[in-house]
Amino acid sequence: MGLAIADLKRFHNVDESPARPSPEKLLWSTVLELALTDLESADGATKRRTRAWVTSRRRDIGSFWWVCEILGFDPQAVRHRGVARSTDEKRLERITRSC
């Protein structure tokens, strides 16, 4: 299953959702949304910590895998998309700097 930040925002907009999401799902969707944003736009230590969280194989409470599963997303698809977008951004930065 693909994932876009718009998919996460559906947890925040209760008018579009047939059932009101739990406060916990709102919290964890915000965490995942921030992680995907950090992979794309953060720099330095924040990006490294976020990438480590996203690529971790842990499945305990609070792990990337756990968060995706409670939100109904395929963790591997989300991980692939988030990391791929981050890598594409790095390539673009290198190309832009060399011009």
Per-residue pLDDT of 59-74, as tens digits, reads 999 999 999 999 999 9
pLDDT, tens only, 80-96: 888 777 665 555 455 43
Q: What is the distance between the alpha carbons of residues 80 and 78, in angstroms, rounded to a whole number?
A: 6
More confidently predicted of 64 and 11: 64
* pLDDT band, residue 40 (cuts 50/70/90): confident
More confident call, 26 vs 20? 26
What's residue 10's pLDDT?
Answer: 58
- Distance, CA of 23 to chain centre: 18
Q: Confirm if 87 and 79 have CB atoms less than 8 A apart.
A: no
Measure Cα distances from 59 to 13, 51, 53, 64, 82 in Å.
Answer: 28, 16, 11, 7, 18
- Phi first, then psi: what are they for 6, rounded to 5°? -60, -35
Residues 1 and 74 sit within 8 Å (Cβ to Cβ): yes
